[in-house]
Structures are given as structure tokens and as C-alpha cells.
């Protein structure tokens, strides 16, 4: 006779494995700090590339102004201003990355805990360790 509770649990587990389970299983191999650190390193590289692209677009857009004030320009002040903007940009970028990946990790762990709880329930209902002869 079919047990409807077992069928519901197995269906929920199969849907989880097919959808979120693939993504969540990748986070299960990491500690939270390591997972977030990996994401922060990747976003640092990506953010730096994005900043360089934005800076080049801005420089190309205002090339005429830059050429007119080239000789009277204080290069040290310009570099320090660009450096300050870079630091602020990267700080915002890294904080956003930290929040996003922290929430993703917590959500994945919650889903995995529920999945493992369902596995334990099914194992217990099928006889647990007494099921070795099957």
C-alpha cells in the first residue's frame, strides 16, 4: 500500500534536487567565511575591471576638457581624487557582494537542512539500519 506522506516527501525532495539542489550543493562544500571570501575576491577583480571601464568611458567623454586643461592640471590631485573614488566604489561593491552572498549561503543551508531532514525521515520510515538486508 502506498504511503502518501512518503510520496509527498519524495516528491518534495525530487523537486528540490532538480531546481535549487544543484546550486545549493555547491555551497555545501564550503564554510560560510570561505564561500563569502571567494565571492569577495571575484567581485574585487570584477569591480576593478568595471571601474576601469567606467573611468575610460568618462575620460573619453570629457577628452576635450582634459586636453584644454592638460598643462594647468594638478596631476597629484587628480590621481588622489580618482583613487578616492575607486576606494569608495570598491567598498560599496564589496559590501553589496558580502550581503548578497551571505543571504545566498544562509538560504542554501536552510534548503539543505530541510532536504537532509527529509532524507532522515525517509530512512527512519524504511527501517533505518535494519534495512541492510535489502
C-alpha cell at 66: 582634459
pLDDT averaged over every residue in the chain: 88
The residues, any chain, with a CB within 8 Å of residue 27's CB and separated by 6 or more, are: 35, 104, 105, 108, 109, 112
Average pLDDT score over residue span 76-102: 96
Higher local confidence (pLDDT), 34 or 74: 34
Residue given cell 543551508 in the structure block: 109
User: How is residue 7 written as a grid cell?
Assistant: 510520496
The pLDDT tens digits for 7-17 are 888 898 998 88
6 three-class SS: helix
What is the spatial distance between Cα 17 and Cα 112, in angstroms, rounded to a whole number?
Answer: 10
pLDDT greater than 50 at residue 64:
yes
Mean pLDDT of 72-90: 91
Place of cell 564554510: 31
Query: For residue 1, what pLDDT band results from cuts at 50, 70 and 90?
Result: very low
Cα 64 from Cα 75, distance rounded (Å): 17
pLDDT band, residue 74 (cuts 50/70/90): confident
Contact 111, 12 (CB under 8 A): no
pTM: 0.76
Question: What is the pLDDT confidence band of residue 128, given thresholds at 50, 70 and 90?
Answer: low
Helices (H), the chain: 4-18, 20-28, 32-61, 63-68, 75-125
pLDDT above 50 for 134 = no
The pLDDT, as a whole number, for residue 133 is 47
Residue 38's pLDDT is 96
Amino acid at each position: 500500500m502506498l504511503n502518501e506522506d512518503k510520496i509527498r516527501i519524495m516528491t518534495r525532495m525530487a523537486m528540490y534536487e532538480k531546481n535549487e539542489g544543484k546550486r545549493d550543493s555547491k555551497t555545501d562544500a564550503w564554510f560560510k567565511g570561505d564561500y563569502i571570501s571567494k565571492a569577495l575576491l571575484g567581485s574585487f577583480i570584477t569591480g576593478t575591471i568595471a571601474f576601469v571601464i567606467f573611468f575610460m568611458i568618462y575620460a573619453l567623454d570629457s577628452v576635450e576638457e582634459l586636453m584644454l586643461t592638460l598643462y594647468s592640471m594638478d596631476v597629484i590631485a587628480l590621481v588622489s581624487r580618482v583613487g578616492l573614488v575607486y576606494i569608495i566604489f570598491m567598498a560599496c561593491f564589496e559590501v553589496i557582494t558580502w550581503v548578497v552572498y551571505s543571504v545566498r549561503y544562509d538560504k542554501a543551508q536552510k534548503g539543505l537542512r530541510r532536504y537532509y531532514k527529509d532524507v532522515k525521515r525517509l530512512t527512519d520510515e524504511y527501517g533505518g539500519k535494519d534495512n541492510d538486508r535489502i
